[in-house]
A and B are shown apart, each in its own frame.
Chain A
Amino acid sequence: MKPQETQKPAANSVLDQRKRQVVTKGDALFDIACETKSVAGSVSQRACVFCGSRVVLYPLADALHLVHGPIGCASYTWDIRGALSSGPQLHRMSFSTDLSEMDIILGGEKQLYRCLVELIDAYRPKAAFVYSTCIVGLIGDDVEAVCAQVSREKGLSVIPVFSEGFAGTKKDGYKAACDALGRLLGTGSTEGIVPHAINLLGEFNLAGETWLIKDYYRRMGVDVVATVTGDGRIDDIRRMHGAALNVVQCSGSVMHLAKRLKEQFGQPYIRVSYFGVEDTAKALYDVAEHFGDAAMMDRARALVREEVAALMPELMCIKKDLAGKRAAVYVGGSFKAFSLVRALRLLGMGTVLAGSQTGTKEDYRELEKICDPGTVIVDDTNPLELCAFLKEKGCDLLIGGVKERPIAHKLGLGFCDHNHERKKSLAGFVGMLNFAREVQATVMSPVWQFVPRPSGAAERTP
């Protein structure tokens, strides 16, 4: 006898301990619990400290990235994020000290030293990052000392990243990465940097997005000194303190660095987003405003006019298909969720569920403000909850990452990867059009006529 499908839990899909991490807009008292540790046993979609640090630093293409630990941590992060480089490709290799049982007993410092020396001799990188994994924190290797020694001997910056997986959440990994970058700050010459120069922070050049954004600023007459870290280079980080302004996207990952730059060098920062027409335009205007340069503002306005005019006709066509459809958004950082809610609205779509893995209270209040009444807002959700809400709310589209994609498809929903597996640029004006096309293609796909959809099914009219 073959067992039958077991359609399990349904009645109450929210773990008791998690009840305060789920709220609905319109609830009398909006008080979401967040920035908590995940509940043990929950099928959380979150990752660890190491993951967070790797995400931030990995796109630095001319640096060596050595993962100090057993093989897994290196192999699971081997070239999985499409952070493109216009030059060196060293970041796409996977280097590991591959610690074995004996190293755990005797310590991994010698192994680390040998690996660093061999790698630096072979690849001559601009700098090296050494990521500590769980086990390294536990066996107590003095990674700092080994890095310092190799640094002296080889004459380049060898920087430890304190990213033991258990020491917090992915967010703490962002901070560990920013601390590592902090060691490079102010170490390069700022000669030749023009007054109208900025740094792009929290832009990872997925699908070439950094190039697009840089081009917008260039057209406004603004130079970009460093990008942290999309298509990033070590020497740029060393001189980034010479720029007039830090423009911070994906604030969760690099805010720490922006604050540090402000403290150390008095460099101001602004928060922006490049997702959606409104947010992209604002990101450009805010920079022009910062420089107080009327001509620059005129150029920005002209650019926005030109770009928007180019995409609007098609966008309005797509909107006809999508108007009234419902979307759910579950992403890593909450700042992106704001943009997505706005971008979806531009397409005539409502957002019935919005959430993130790592949002703060402040973020969720902001999210609540821009969402429609009745929108469910979740922190650190899991597949069971997600499915229950998607069914209850009747969705046509889920926006998420790797682990959410097959869930959406099984439910018969359209899906859009707004994480690192996006294949087309979703940033900027061009990105808005790509996003709209992708949403249209998935929501209106002919495949849905062959499958049952939970509710709110999109009928494709021929």
Chain B
Amino acid sequence: MLLRHTTAAVAEREALTINPAKTCQPIGAMYAALGIHACLPHSHGSQGCCSYHRSTLTRHYKEPVMAGTSSFTEGSSVFGGQANLLQAIANIFSIYDPDVIAVHTTCLSETIGDDLVQIIAKAREEGSIPPGKMVIHTNTPSYAGSHVTGFSSMVKSMVGYFSEPSDTRSQTINIIPGWVEPSDMREIKRLAGLMGADAIVFPDTSDVLDAPQTGKHVFYPKGGVTMPALRRTGESAVTLALGPAASEAAAKALDVKCGVPCETMTLPIGLQATDRFIDAVRQYSGRGVPAIIEEERGRLIDVMTDMGQYLQGKRVALWGDPDQLVALSEFLVDLDMKPVYVVTGTPGKVFERRMEKALQGRVPEAQIRQGATADMFLMHQWIKQEPVDLLIGNTYGKYIARDEDIPFVRHGFPILDRVGHSYFPTVGYAGAIRLLEKFLDVFLDRRDRDDPEERFELVM
């Protein structure tokens, strides 16, 4: 029992996070920046931050993750990191030659008070930024928000640095996919494409963090949203922000800066959220929904009806990021399942209200917690008080799954011990079928393992 010390009784903790359901901002900024083509993320802080983020992203994606660091020393912590960043920018352009350097700060450089705008201006003055190249930045103090906030801030910075106001409106739809997998971004582009929409998806990590084996290490893989595309986001007809926590800030900034109207939606995970997404794209693209998408939807509902009996009434505990949790919960309720415990370490105003809506009044016993002490330890204590039938969340759930012997489906970030998330989406109708398959697999495998011989069934 790895978590043998966890007690069922919940003692209110004033401080202290045990087994967190979040991590810090900079890694989110790094992940978002990797969704720009030929961009080198840069961590303005100590060397360890960058190393940890790269290692974690590498463990999740099984891909090389490139990023620079200002390599702070004791000197920089006293005198500020300007000299380091100036040197870094010059070095990076001369050796690694990216199109964009996307700098994010850390708790260290934030507390020192480095002024990134001024430092970047100085780098330009000194001629270290070649013509046509860009250095962008975002502020990601680790002591505020979470990895989701950091992601959101970097996407917002993309708007701030690139999007250009325009007198004319194009037919293009901006889609901000939120912190989802490369596979999900690919699926979102496929769905938009099927509906004939001209879409700019940003950031876009497909073909970056799911790159094929080619016998070469490609420093900047072919994927990622390009600088020209980012500039054009300012003249698009609309922005669809998928998930308020990860995407809304950028969409609103784009509205303010360039007058592109925006709509914030639930991540298209599950039936209803995908319906709303498809409907929104349909409205703005002005074309109908093609039969192929109708059929995908039909197949999803077919699986829901065929296998519903194995899912009904199952109690589920979920943890992770707010946008995913809301979408998953809505889908679970549509499957007649009960998301009873929901925990996110990411702070934010609208989460609880959105969760309430997602539960559709059908899970009165649900316990929802967010913020500092909303962690895996609390989740485990709840489970000890009254168990659940299924766990859904990132890899860190495996301790609870093992100790309490509960079926476990991995979803979210990070997944350090399985593959598939990079390649198979969970958004869209096809993605929902994949989720269903995963739920059913863990439930039915369990029955095949645990049912007494006389109850063991061939057909299920």
User: Across the interface, do B47 and A46 meet the contact criterion of CB distance under 8 Å?
Assistant: yes
Partner-binding segment picked from B212-220, B238-246, B356-364, B450-458: B212-220
Residue B146 at the chain A interface, CB threshold 8 Å: yes
Knowing A78-B396, A104-B143 are in contact, say whether A37-B71 is a contact too (CB < 8 A).
yes
A224-250 interface with B by 8 A CB criterion: none
Residues from chain A with Cβ under 8 Å of B50 in the complex: 44
Residue A441 at the chain B interface, CB threshold 8 Å: no
Residue A187 at the chain B interface, CB threshold 8 Å: no
Query: How would residues 125 to 166 of chain B score, 1 for a CB under 8 Å from any chain A CB and 0 otherwise?
Result: 000000000000000011110100000000000000000000
**Residue among A13, A78, A166 having the largest count of chain B Cβ atoms under 10 Å:** A166
Residues from chain A with Cβ under 8 Å of B18 in the complex: 93-95
A409 in complex: contacting residue of B2, B143, B213, CB < 8 Å: B213
Residue A329 at the chain B interface, CB threshold 8 Å: no
* Minimum C-beta distance from A356 to chain B (A): 15
User: Across the interface, do B71 and A72 meet the contact criterion of CB distance under 8 Å?
Assistant: no
Query: Closest chain B residue to A104 by CB distance?
Result: B143
Partner-binding segment picked from A131-139, A175-183, A320-328: A131-139
Q: Give the docked Cα–Cα distance between A4 and B24 (Å).
A: 33
Partner-binding segment picked from A48-56, A141-149, A268-276: A48-56
User: Across the interface, do A406 and B58 meet the contact criterion of CB distance under 8 Å?
Assistant: yes
User: Across the interface, do A3 and B226 meet the contact criterion of CB distance under 8 Å?
Assistant: yes
Query: How would residues 428 to 443 of chain A score, 1 for a CB under 8 Å from any chain B CB and 0 otherwise?
Result: 0000000000000000
Q: Give the docked Cα–Cα distance between A406 and B217 (Å).
A: 9
Residues from chain A with Cβ under 8 Å of B15 in the complex: 97-98, 111, 114-115, 118
Residues from chain B with Cβ under 8 Å of A384 in the complex: 95-96, 219
Residues from chain B with Cβ under 8 Å of A40 in the complex: 68-71, 84-85, 87-88, 91
User: Across the interface, do B217 and A76 meet the contact criterion of CB distance under 8 Å?
Assistant: no
Knowing A72-B142, A166-B77, A384-B219 are in contact, say whether A402-B58 is a contact too (CB < 8 A).
yes
For the complex, count residues of B whose C-beta is within 8 A of A: 92
User: Across the interface, do B215 and A9 meet the contact criterion of CB distance under 8 Å?
Assistant: no
Give chain A's interface secondary structure class.
Answer: loop
Q: Give the docked Cα–Cα distance between A41 and B20 (Å).
A: 31
Q: Give the docked Cα–Cα distance between A90 and B5 (Å).
A: 8
A40-76 interface with B by 8 A CB criterion: 40-51, 69-76
Knowing A40-B87, A41-B91, A114-B16 are in contact, say whether A452-B143 is a contact too (CB < 8 A).
no
Knowing A13-B95, A70-B107, A118-B15 are in contact, say whether A383-B66 is a contact too (CB < 8 A).
yes
Query: How would residues 2 to 29 of chain B score, 1 for a CB under 8 Å from any chain A CB and 0 otherwise?
Result: 1111010001011111111011111100
Chain A interface extent, by class: 35 or more
User: Across the interface, do A9 and B24 meet the contact criterion of CB distance under 8 Å?
Assistant: no
* Minimum C-beta distance from A353 to chain B (A): 15
**Residue among B38, B66, B71 having the largest count of chain A Cβ atoms under 10 Å:** B71
* Minimum C-beta distance from B341 to chain A (A): 19
User: Across the interface, do A169 and B16 meet the contact criterion of CB distance under 8 Å?
Assistant: no
User: Across the interface, do A72 and B16 meet the contact criterion of CB distance under 8 Å?
Assistant: no
Knowing A70-B142, A101-B141, A402-B59 are in contact, say whether A39-B24 is a contact too (CB < 8 A).
no
Q: A71-B17, A134-B45 are in contact. List 4 more A-B contacts (CB 8 A).
A: A72-B25, A76-B56, A138-B77, A166-B108
Q: Which residues of A contact B (CB under 8 A)?
A: 2-9, 12-13, 15, 17, 37-51, 69-78, 80, 89-90, 92-101, 103-104, 111, 114-115, 118-119, 122-123, 133-135, 137-139, 164-170, 383-384, 387, 402-403, 405-407, 409-412, 451-454
